[in-house]
Amino acid sequence: MWQNYLIAAFVGWCGTGWPIRFPRVGGGGGVEPGDWPPNCPMCGGIVAAISAVILVAILGPAAESAGLIGLATISFFAGSFGSNFVGGIRGMASGR
């Protein structure tokens, strides 16, 4: 059972698009402009992983019976939605 949560956390993190950040030639690396909060490039991934695990826990047996591809799909979209949702709420609160 805990393996499902571990897979959900990994795949949920991938739903944010992290770590696919192509370096620019001649530019300094660092934080992407869309990262939230400033200077925290991993906060979106952490929220995405947590939201994917929460959804898999809520779905329970339905997520288990979906198989590996079903679990990965549920987790990916839950992570993407959770990260965008919390980032949008944060943006509204900060007035961006």
Integer Cα distance of 59 and 17 in angstroms: 24
Which residue is it, tokens 């956390």?
Answer: 9
Question: What are 12's two structure tokens?
Answer: 């949920």
Q: Is the pLDDT of residue 91 over 60?
A: yes
pLDDT tens, position by position, 3-33: 889 999 999 888 776 555 555 555 555 555 4
Distance CA 72, CA 50 (A): 14
pLDDT tens by residue, 27-57: 555 555 455 555 566 788 888 899 999 999 9
Angle, CA of 30, 94 and 10, to the nearest 5°:
50
pLDDT in tens, 72-87: 999 999 988 888 888 7
- The answer to whether the predicted template modeling score (pTM) of the entire model surpasses 0.75 is no
d(CA 94, CA 48): 20
Q: Which ranges of the chain does DSSP label H, i.e. alpha helix?
A: 2-14, 43-59, 61-65, 67-94
Return the pLDDT at 62: 87
Distance CA 95, CA 71 (A): 36
